[in-house]
Amino acid sequence: MEVKVRRALVSVSDKTGVVEFVKELQKKGVEIISTGGTAKALSEAGVNVIGISDVTGFPEMLEGRVKTLHPAVHGGILADRTKPDHMKTIEEHGIKPIDMVVVNLYPFAKTVAKPDVTLEDAVENIDIGGPSMVRSAAKNFAAVAIVVDPADYPIVLDEIGNTGGVSEATRARLSAKAYAHTSAYDWMITNYLSAKFAPEDAAFPKEIDLRFEKVQDLRYGENPHQKAAFYREPGTAEPSVATAKQLSGKELSFNNIYDLNAAFELVKEFDGPAIAIIKHTNPCGCCMAPTLAEAFVKAREADMVSAFGGIVASNRPIDVATAEAITAPNSFYEAIIAPGFAPEAIPILTELRKWGANLRLLEVASMLGAVPNTIAAKDIKKVTGGILVQDRDIHDLKPEDLKVATKAAPTPEQIEQLLFAWKVVKHVKSNAIVIAANNQLLGAGAGQMNRVNSVRLAVAQAGEKAKGAVLASDAFFPFADGPEEAAKAGVVAIIQPGGSVRDEEVIELANKYGIAMVFTGARHFLH
C-alpha cells in the first residue's frame, strides 16, 4: 500500500544532503516541520519550515532537551490510519498526521572519540527525542516512512516523484534500518558508560552485543563457494587494514584482507624501519634495517620462493628505493599496506611490471601514538554456536624480564636478536619456531603438530645461516629434541617461555652445546 507523503518532520544531526533533499520534497508539495539547528539550516537555505513549537504549542526548553516529546508529534506519527478511533482522537486534539520522519541522532560516537571529551559533553550528546521519534515512526511503518540515512534520500525522492508516496516494501526496509540505527546508538552509549563507571564489567560483560558496519561485499570467502563481506568496528581509529584506504589495484579478496592484517600487525611490533612478507597469514620474510629498502631486500631473502605472490607490509611510507626493490625482476606481490606511499613510488609499483596494474596499495594513517581502542583490545574467535573472547596479545617483553636458565648468558647483541625473534614468533602459527640474526628472519616453522618438526622446518629454511643465529619458540619445549636439532644447526641462543616438566633436560642439552637460553615466563600461541 502506498502512503502519500504530505507532511514530513526533519531533524538531523548528519546534515549531508538534507537541504537538497528537503527542497525536492517541498517542490512535490510536502509540508516540512523542523527543529533546532536543522530548522535554521533549512531556513537559511530558503526552505519554508514550520517550527516544532508551532506544532506543539510549547517552546523548545531546557537547552533543547525537550522539544519533540509531545502528543502533537508522537500522536501524528503513531496514529494507526486504519483505525477510525485513532484518526478521530487526533482530530479532536488538533493533531495532524506526520507521514515521514527524517531523523538521525546526535554524534555520540564522534564526541566520545575525542581525546579531551568530558563526561558532561558525552552526556549532552545522548539523544532522547531523536530515538523516540525514530522508534515511533519505525513501529508505525505501515503508515509512516522513517529515514535515518542520507543514502536513502534518492530512493525516497524517486518513489515520491513517481507515486506521491513511499512504497510498503521501502517503508518496511527503512523501519528495520531505523531500529538498527537506534540499537547501535544505545550500544555505543552502553559501552562508554560501562567503561566509565563499571570497568570490571566492561572487560567481559555478561552479554556481548557485537556491532560492525559493512565496508564492502567480497567476491567470495576463503573459497569460491563461500559468500563473504568485510565489516569494520564503528569508531575504530587504530591504523589497521580496517581503517586503510585502497589507492589502487583490484578489489580486495577475503584472503587478501586476512593476510594484510597479519602482515601489518607484525610490522607494528618494530620501532625501526621494518618490512614483513606474509603468505597464508605466516611471515615468510621479516626484517628491520636502517633503511626500508634494505629491510625489504633482507625480508625477501628469507624465503624468495614463498615471497612470490605474497603480501607486503611496512611500518614506514614506501619510498622510491623500496618501490624499486619490490618491483625487481622475477617478483610478484598481491598487495602492499603501509602508512603512505611517496608520489614518485606509486607509478613504479603500478606501472613498471605487468602485475602492477592489479597490485593493491593500501594506505593507513601514521602509527605514531596509535592506541588500540576498547573493542580492538579484545581478540574474538568464532566457534560453532559461540565465540571465544580474550585480551589482545600485546604483551611487551623487556630485556629485564628475561631469566637466564643456562650456564652461558646471552651477550647484549644476542639479547637484541632474541627479542627480535620473539616479536616475530608471536605472529607465526603454533607450533611456532623462528630463527633470526641481524634483525632478519632466516627460517620459520609454523603450524606443526609437534614442536620438533617446526624446528626442523626453520633449520632447513635458514640453512647455513642458522650458524651463529638465535631461535625463538612460542611455547616451551616439551622435550630436548627440538633444541638439539637447533644446536646441531649452529644456533647459539634460544628464547622460550619455560615451564615444562622437562625444563631441566632442555637446560642440560643447552649447556652441553654451550647455548645461552632465556625464559620469558610468557607464551605466544597463535592458532
Which residues are tagged catalytic?
139, 280
With residues binned 3-state (H G I as helix, E B as strand, rest as coil), the percentages for the chain, rounded to 5, are: 40, 20, 40
SS3 readout for 59-111: CCECCCCECCCCHHHHHHHHCCCCCHHHHHHHHHCCCCCCCEEEEECCCHHHH
Query: How crowded is residue 452: how many other Cβ atoms within 10 Å of its Cβ?
Result: 21
Alpha carbon distances (Å) from 23 to 27, 29, 48, 153, 418:
6, 10, 9, 12, 66
Pairwise CA distance, residues 489 & 463, whole Å: 8
Angle between helices 153-163 and 18-27 (to 10 degrees): 0
Q: What is the dihedral of CA 283, 285, 286, 290, to 10 degrees?
A: -160
Can you say whether the dihedral through the CA atoms of 263, 264, 267, 273 is positive or negative? positive
Strand partners, 242: none
Pairwise CA distance, residues 100 & 68, whole Å: 15
261: part of which helix (H) or strand (E)?
A: helix 254-267
Pairwise CA distance, residues 236 & 373, whole Å: 7
Grid cell of 29 as nine digits: 508539495
CB 113 within 8 A of CB 237: yes
